[in-house]
């Protein structure tokens, strides 16, 4: 599609001269050719996207997504995963190495990069820290970075060996690599089904205490300080983690963190019905933790929000709670969850579009005349039904499937391509 005109949308781009203004944006052959205060556009030969009542910003970037490439394509392949991402407003996603084989060498990184080439949604592999994600031996981090990996993590397996984590931080620092920590002490968390607290006691289920997370956050903060290296924590979920990271930032430690959108709107009280779609890792915590996470977002301790999109086949979820796999699909529900959590449009853009790119050292795309168009158009008021017809993922493991949600992505533009949600 050569020409696209977004009309009468409020521009959200902190620092931009037209930030907060209602504008028309004309995109010609993939580039922004005009940004002007909203006026009549009858003289323009272009596909018109009505932005009245909506916000337009740089496309969202998800720092924590799971596809199934390579080896687990029955969960999610690149085509379906990027379709779900585009429908959720994301023009870029970082894909974790929770695959079979894991993304732990140049070969898997190259496979994912080449498979996703030409897509509207940019797909960035995150390479494993350790070979086979077994936590014993460092993978070839530098080779993976040269092939296209943007950061390193063992995915949903927390690195238990402090010495290996320390070496990973020190080694990656030499080539400006970023280590991502999924904080969980297995010796404390072992055998859990949900958050440890009053609700787990009431339901008679094994609980994972906040301590399992905060212990690992504390350890990796010490290691990052010792090695003078940056570290990023993904999917933090506890009040204690927020406080530890806040203190570390005040000391000048190079630390950033993100939170999964579902941990901002649900608590462990949801588990009372034993719906396995509420079984996630880290688990849903208490209202006290949710309040601390929201405060951490507002004050800037928490830098970004992620989907933690984790698709599973029905046989892994439509089972008893205690044997169900952990995780939910989330690419299409991040915006509605953040609207429900009470974030402003500017906060949403900061946590979903700007900060994620800055964390991995990418330049934030500009919204200026002459720049390549990388845009999302979204409404904070529009409602839509998330069901089998609107769900773009292969999987259906979401606790809000079948519900009416508030907060809708109208369109995304990237690489000269347009996807609209009618």
Domain boundaries, the chain: 3-56+368-420, 59-359
Return d(Cα 165, Cα 179) in angstroms, integer: 9
Which 3 state secondary structure label does DSSP give 66? coil
Burial class of residue 315 (count of CB atoms within 10 Å of its CB; 0-12, 13-18, 19+): exposed
Let me know if domain 3-56+368-420 sits in CATH 2.30.40.10. yes
What stretches in the chain show pLDDT beneath 70? Answer: 1, 39-43
Residue-wise pLDDT tens digits, 166-207? 999 999 999 999 999 999 999 999 878 899 999 999 999 999
pTM over 0.85: yes
Which 3 state secondary structure label does DSSP give 409? strand
What's the confidence (pLDDT) of residue 1? 61
Which helix or strand (DSSP H or E) is residue 414 part of? strand 403-414
What's the confidence (pLDDT) of residue 190? 81
Q: How many CB atoms lie within 10 A of CB 205?
A: 17
Report phi then psi at 175, rounded to 5: -120, 25
For helices 239-250 and 210-227, what crossing angle results, to 10°?
20
175 forms beta bridges with none
The sign of the CA dihedral 164, 253, 301, 9 is negative
What's the confidence (pLDDT) of residue 44? 75
What's the confidence (pLDDT) of residue 238? 98
Least Cα distance to 65 among 164, 180, 145 occurs for: 180
CATH numeric code, 59-359 = 3.20.20.140
Return d(Cα 157, Cα 142) in angstroms, integer: 21
Least Cα distance to 84 among 417, 414, 386 occurs for: 386
What's the confidence (pLDDT) of residue 41? 55
Residue-wise pLDDT tens digits, 317-348? 999 999 999 999 999 999 999 999 999 999 99
């Amino acid at each position: 599609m050569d020409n696209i005109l977004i009309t009468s949308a409020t521009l959200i781009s902190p620092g931009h001269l037209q930030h907060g203004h209602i504008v028309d944006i004309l995109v010609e052959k993939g580039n922004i050719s005009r940004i002007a205060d909203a006026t009549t556009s009858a003289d323009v030969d272009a596909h018109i996207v009505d932005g009245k009542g909506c916000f337009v910003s740089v496309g969202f970037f998800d720092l924590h997504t799971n596809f199934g490439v390579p080896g687990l394509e029955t969960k999610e392949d690149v085509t379906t995963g990027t379709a779900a991402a585009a429908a959720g407003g994301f023009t870029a996603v970082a894909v974790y190495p929770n695959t079979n084989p894991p993304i732990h060498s140049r070969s898997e990184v190259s496979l994912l990069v080449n498979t996703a080439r030409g897509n509207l949604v940019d797909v960035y592999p995150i390479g494993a820290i350790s070979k086979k994600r077994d936590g014993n031996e460092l993978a070839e981090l530098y080779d993976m970075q040269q092939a296209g990996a943007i950061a390193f993590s063992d995915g949903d397996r927390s690195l238990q060996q402090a010495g290996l984590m320390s070496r990973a931080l020190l080694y990656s620092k030499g080539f400006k690599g970023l280590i991502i920590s999924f904080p969980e002490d297995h010796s404390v968390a072992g055998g859990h089904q949900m958050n440890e607290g009053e609700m787990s006691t009431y339901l008679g289920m094994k609980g994972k205490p906040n301590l399992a997370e905060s212990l690992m956050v504390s350890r990796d903060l010490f290691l990052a300080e010792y090695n003078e290296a940056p570290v990023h924590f993904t999917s933090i979920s506890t009040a204690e983690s927020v406080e530890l990271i806040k203190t570390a930032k005040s000391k000048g430690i190079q630390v950033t963190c993100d939170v999964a959108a579902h941990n901002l709107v649900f608590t462990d009280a949801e588990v009372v019905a034993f719906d396995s779609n509420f079984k996630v890792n880290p688990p849903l915590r208490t209202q006290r933790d949710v309040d601390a996470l929201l405060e951490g977002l507002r004050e800037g301790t928490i830098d970004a929000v992620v989907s933690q999109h984790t698709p599973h086949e029905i046989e892994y979820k439509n089972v008893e709670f205690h044997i169900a796999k952990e995780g939910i699909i989330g690419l299409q529900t991040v915006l509605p969850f953040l609207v429900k959590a009470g974030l402003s449009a500017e906060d949403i853009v900061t946590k979903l579009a700007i900060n994620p790119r800055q964390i991995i050292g990418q330049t934030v795309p500009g919204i200026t005349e002459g720049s390549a168009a990388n845009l999302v158009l979204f409404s904070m008021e529009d409602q839509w039904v998330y069901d089998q017809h609107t769900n773009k993922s292969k999987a259906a493991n979401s606790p809000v499937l079948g519900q009416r949600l508030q907060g809708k992505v109208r369109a995304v533009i990237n690489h000269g391509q347009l996807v609209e949600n009618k």
